Amino acid sequence: SVNIVAFGNERDGFSEDNQQPSLICSYLRRSALISQIDSSLSASQVGNPVFTEYQACVFGNVRLVVHDCPVWDIFDSDWYTSRSLIGGADIIVIKYSVNDKTSFQELKDTYVPMIKKALNHCSIPVIISAIGARKNGLPCTCPLCTSDRRSCVTTSEGVQLAKELGATYLELHTLNDFYVQKYFGGVLEYFMIQSLNQKSSEKMKKRKKAQKGHRVQPPQLEQPEKMPILKGEASHYDADLHNLLCCCQCADVAFYPEDLSTVVEAHKIILCSVSHLFMLLFEVKSPADIRDASIVRTAQSLFAVEAGTPFPPAPRGIPPCVPPVRVVVKDSVFCSCLPDILHFIYSGAFQWERLEEDVKKKLKDPEKTEHVLEKVKCILKTPGKLNTVKDCRSHQIKRLYNTSLRLFFNTPVLADVIFKIQGATVPAHRAVLVARCEVMAAMFNGNYLEANSILVPVYGVSKDTFLSFLEYLYTDSCCPASILQAMSLLICAEMYQVMRLQHICELYIITQLQSMPSRELASTSLSIVSLLKKAKFHNSDCLSTWLLHFIATNYLIFSQKPEFQDLS
């Protein structure tokens, strides 16, 4: 079989033709070598496809599996899926539109380093496909041309990107028969044949090795069951933050109507992570930083931050030394819809259609409904850009948290708790910690010293490991640098009972050990037996079972190591 993974979107951000077939789909339909094509969508979240999987036959009876991932967000929101796709790939295809300079720059700065790290010096062929004719002139193929450098991606930029990855660079000016079938298809089929030849050679080597003289037989252990993370354990990141609004723990903002008759509680860190308007309101940014008069006007017309004591009691869960921010909502119509708007924001700020329905049902007046929705659009507005209904419904707004909450990770801005660890201090935000970690929720809301303390000491874990742990809480993703770091993070996750992070670390350790050649396994100073002991001690049953099976499978290698005697 041959496994191909394709990343990126060949359509530019201004194209209105969403029915145009993708490069991969066009190749599969047109190639004379491909037969019995079947496709299916896979999703990590409802209504939000991560990739399309194609299965077909090539060269007669060779099974071809293609995963086409048009959205780069898979590297941010679903690290273990993207890592698994790259790890199982025989060929990688990276696509981009020559007319979408912004997406190309994001690919170059953010995602290419992730792909290089995931490849880990593996010799997997990579094809970079620059698609489309440059719209500000004739297609340019001169590497030295700079005439279209401002608005389009030049050939020289694409070639440089290919050099960074050791990739083959192709320019496809249109998706017709020549470019798709003969040009792109010819290169892809060459790499398919190379992959099949390499697999055939490895299979012959294994067969010859098995036919050699009798060897010491390792203990017979059954293959361990797949861990929950390998079965597709879903993230509960959005649900955690939405539950924070429902239970109102650690609320540090109280919204009131002008008559002070009701109160709606919220959290500055969540509101500021979504909106520049709230950053302005809570003095995270100044009007000079925002540079958008419409956001400043909306903030002044909608809200007034009050101080003093004439208000009702402070929201629950706030330490005495951190007074709540009390905000009067000047617009009564907007104030009546504020609970629905907050539910929209805390749910990830991408369910725009549902917000529209809720506001229409509550107000039953088209003019008032449009008025409220326009205010919400201004709250979500990016300074200097014009927000439209299409923008609100597009994929650009989805999953705001794990990119924007990252801005507040390990910064003193809005921080209301400071961890002291190994002589250093790490600022954090109670609301995020309570939402994402049940142990910390109990610690900050129970009858414990930490509930009323700003400075909280941390023992039994290093600063770097604790920072990686906090980064996962803020972003729902982690990328350990080594097996030992992953084990340290696993121990920290077990200490704070964050099971999904523990499973991600287990998967990382297993993936790294599986990809390690026998020669490296024999010479490494890493003690697998020590990993096994730590996994058992910290209740990582899946990992300890797998490691024991791994030791048995590589019995000849491990039986020669000194630590092997420590196994009972």
Q: What is the pLDDT of residues 322-332, one digit of tens each?
A: 567 899 999 99
pLDDT of the residue at 311: 41
Determine whether domain 408-477 maps to CATH 1.10.760.10: no
Tokens of 64: 């071809």
The structural architecture, per CATH, of the domain 236-310+320-402 is 2-Layer Sandwich (3.30)
pLDDT band of 233, cuts 50, 70, 90: low
In sign, the C-alpha dihedral spanning 8, 11, 17, 22 is negative
CA 305/CA 302 separation, integer angstroms: 10
Q: Identify which has the larger pLDDT, 377 or 72.
A: 377
pLDDT of the residue at 439: 92
Start and end residues for every CATH 3.30.710.10 domain found in the chain: 408-477
Determine the average pLDDT of the residues in 89-97.
Answer: 91
Q: CB-side exposure of 72: number of CA atoms within 13 Å? A: 21
pLDDT band of 382, cuts 50, 70, 90: confident
Residue of 513, 520, 428 lying closest to 472 (CA atoms): 428
Q: Indicate if the pLDDT at residue 88 is higher than 80.
A: yes
CATH topology of domain 2-39+47-135+151-201: Rossmann fold (3.40.50)
pLDDT of the residue at 499: 92
Start and end residues for every CATH 3.40.50.300 domain found in the chain: 2-39+47-135+151-201
Helix axes 499-514, 79-87, angle to 10 degrees: 10
Q: Identify which has the larger pLDDT, 244 or 213.
A: 244
- Mean pLDDT (the chain) is 82
pLDDT band of 309, cuts 50, 70, 90: very low
Q: Indicate if the pLDDT at residue 393 is higher than 80.
A: no
Q: Identify which has the larger pLDDT, 51 or 396.
A: 51
- Dihedral of the alpha carbons of 132, 136, 138, 144, in degrees to the nearest 10: -90
Residue 281 sits at the vertex; the CA angle it makes with 275 and 283, to the nearest 5 degrees, is 105
CA 417/CA 403 separation, integer angstroms: 22
Least confidently predicted of 20-29, 184-193, 265-274: 20-29
Helices (H), 55-184: 74-77, 79-87, 101-106, 112-119, 155-165, 177
Least confidently predicted of 30-34, 311-315, 381-385, 458-462: 311-315
Q: Indicate if the pLDDT at residue 361 is higher than 50.
A: yes
Determine the average pLDDT of the residues in 393-421.
Answer: 74
Least confidently predicted of 363-372, 398-407, 502-511: 398-407
pLDDT band of 47, cuts 50, 70, 90: very low
Of the ranges 182-191, 319-328, 387-396, which is most confident?
182-191
DSSP single-letter state for residue 406: G
pLDDT of the residue at 399: 44
Least confidently predicted of 129-138, 198-207, 212-221: 212-221
Task: Catalogue the long-range contacts made by 116-119 (C-beta closer than 8 Å, 24 or more residues apart).
Answer: 116/164, 116/165, 117/479, 118/82, 118/83, 118/86, 118/87, 119/86
- How many other CB atoms are there within 10 angstroms of residue 213's CB atom? 4
Q: Indicate if the pLDDT at residue 42 is higher than 80.
A: no
Determine the average pLDDT of the residues in 455-472.
Answer: 94
Determine the average pLDDT of the residues in 356-360.
Answer: 91
At 253, is the secondary structure helix, strand, or coil? strand
Specify the residue for token string 């993370």.
229
pLDDT of the residue at 327: 93
pLDDT of the residue at 20: 66
Q: Indicate if the pLDDT at residue 472 is higher than 90.
A: yes
Determine the average pLDDT of the residues in 530-550.
Answer: 91
pLDDT band of 227, cuts 50, 70, 90: low
Least confidently predicted of 3-17, 101-115, 143-157: 143-157
pLDDT of the residue at 235: 81
Q: Indicate if the pLDDT at residue 145 is higher than 60.
A: no
Q: Indicate if the pLDDT at residue 139 is higher than 60.
A: no
Q: Identify which has the larger pLDDT, 16 or 300.
A: 300
pLDDT of the residue at 219: 56
Q: How many residues does the chain have?
A: 568
pLDDT of the residue at 531: 94
- In DSSP terms, 45 is beta-bridged to 48
Q: Indicate if the pLDDT at residue 232 is higher than 60.
A: no
Pairing of strands 253-257, 325-329: parallel
pLDDT of the residue at 72: 81
pLDDT of the residue at 22: 82
